[in-house]
């Protein structure tokens, strides 16, 4: 049995609920959405639009989940939650074991689903790019859009296609998403094992540095333009209406968000494809996990 699951099974205690958290999803149901990204984890509850807690994701999955557990116990007590939806930046297999995560290679082989089941009676895990898209489809800028491409900028670059209202993405056991499009030269080695992945240059730390300096370096601008052009061309070929930009890196930097949006809009206009920023940049993945969980349990 995984370490955290075993520890939780051995403990008992009374329930101490946060009324705002537990009451927001109904007086009897205690339901939360979480997002585990390569840089940090976040928790939402209620309507899911406000982040209730966050912490650092480390190279140790056990240490990361212990910090998450500490917050959940403080908010809800030791009694398991009714349900927990998890947005995850890596890939999991059918058993909920991490099968790959280029940005956190030490997590490979970790029994994520088993340990999350120590926190709640019902648990679901979904790709973070899918969750971000579902949030925009349900309560964001894509509510009335049936066909679009969602691109999420976090530590890396994720995302998915939405075709006729259905989310489509790469295989669930492969963590390589949009950031691993091989749009750059062979000299760019990626942690995933490939060469030329766009997120070797276009990544969260680079975006944060550009936002702080109010300047986009030539290599970063080239990577952004290549990705924006690819997105616009694919959307034009598939007849998609727009590109939706999402992700925590855009939430944390207003200047870089405007700079990226300008490039995507310019490339999109050339082929008749709109581009816009999402409504839930920071909370989007956890919100999407919460919404998808509610759909499955109601």
pLDDT digits (tens), the chain, 298 positions: 455 555 444 433 322 233 333 333 344 579 999 999 999 999 999 888 889 999 999 999 999 999 999 999 999 999 999 999 999 999 999 999 999 999 999 999 999 999 999 999 999 999 999 999 999 999 999 999 999 999 999 999 999 999 999 998 766 566 788 999 999 999 999 988 999 999 999 999 999 999 999 999 999 999 999 999 999 999 999 999 999 999 999 998 999 999 999 999 999 999 999 999 999 999 999 999 999 887 765 5
The yes/no answer on whether domain 144-277 falls in CATH 3.30.420.40 is yes
**Structure confidence at residue 138 (pLDDT):** 94
Tell whether the torsion through CA atoms of 19, 24, 26 and 28 is positive or negative: negative
Beta bridge partners of 88: 36, 127
DSSP summary character for residue 245 = E
Q: In the beta sheet, which residues pair with residue 77?
A: 15
Is 56 exposed, middle or buried, given 0-12, 13-18 or 19+ CB atoms closer than 10 A?
exposed
pTM, full prediction: 0.86
175, 90 Cβ separation under 8 angstroms? yes
As a whole number of angstroms, the distance between CA 204 and CA 190 comes to: 15
Question: CA 197, CA 9: separation in Å to the nearest integer?
Answer: 42
Strands (E), the chain: 31-36, 40-45, 51-56, 81-88, 91-92, 98-100, 120-127, 148-153, 157-163, 166-168, 242-246, 274-277
The Cα 75–Cα 185 span in angstroms is 48
Label residue 10 exposed, middle or buried (CB < 10 Å: 0-12, 13-18, 19+).
Answer: exposed
CATH fold label, 3-131+284-297: Nucleotidyltransferase; domain 5 (3.30.420)
Q: Could you tell me where in the chain the CATH 3.30.420.40 domains are found?
A: 3-131+284-297, 144-277
């Amino acid at each position: 049995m995984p370490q955290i699951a075993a520890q939780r099974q051995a403990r008992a205690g009374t329930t101490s609920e946060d009324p705002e958290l537990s009451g927001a999803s109904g007086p009897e149901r205690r339901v939360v959405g979480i997002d585990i990204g390569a840089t940090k984890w976040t928790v939402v509850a209620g309507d899911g639009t406000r982040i209730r807690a966050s912490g650092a994701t480390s190279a140790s999955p056990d240490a990361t989940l212990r910090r998450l557990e500490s917050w959940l116990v403080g908010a809800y007590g030791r009694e398991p939650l009714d349900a927990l939806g998890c947005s995850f930046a890596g890939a999991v297999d059918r058993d909920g074991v991490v099968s790959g995560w280029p940005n956190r290679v030490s997590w490979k082989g970790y029994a994520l689903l088993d340990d999350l089941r120590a926190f709640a009676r019902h648990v679901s895990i979904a790709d973070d790019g899918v969750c971000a898209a579902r949030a925009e489809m349900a309560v964001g800028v894509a509510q009335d859009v049936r066909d679009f491409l969602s691109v999420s900028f976090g530590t890396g670059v994720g995302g998915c296609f939405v075709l006729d209202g259905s989310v489509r993405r790469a295989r669930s056991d492969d963590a390589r998403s949009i950031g691993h499009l091989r749009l750059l030269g062979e000299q760019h080695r990626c942690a995933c094992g490939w060469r030329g992945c766009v997120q070797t240059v276009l990544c969260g730390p680079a975006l944060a540095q550009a936002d702080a300096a109010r300047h986009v370096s030539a290599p970063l601008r080239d990577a952004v333009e290549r990705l924006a052009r690819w997105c616009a061309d694919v959307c034009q070929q598939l007849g998609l209406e727009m590109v939706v930009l999402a992700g925590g890196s855009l939430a944390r930097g207003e200047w870089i968000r405007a700079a990226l949006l300008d490039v995507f809009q310019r490339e999109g206009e050339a082929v008749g494809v709109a581009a816009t920023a999402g409504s839930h940049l920071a909370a989007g993945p956890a919100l999407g996990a919460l919404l998808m969980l509610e759909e499955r349990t109601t």
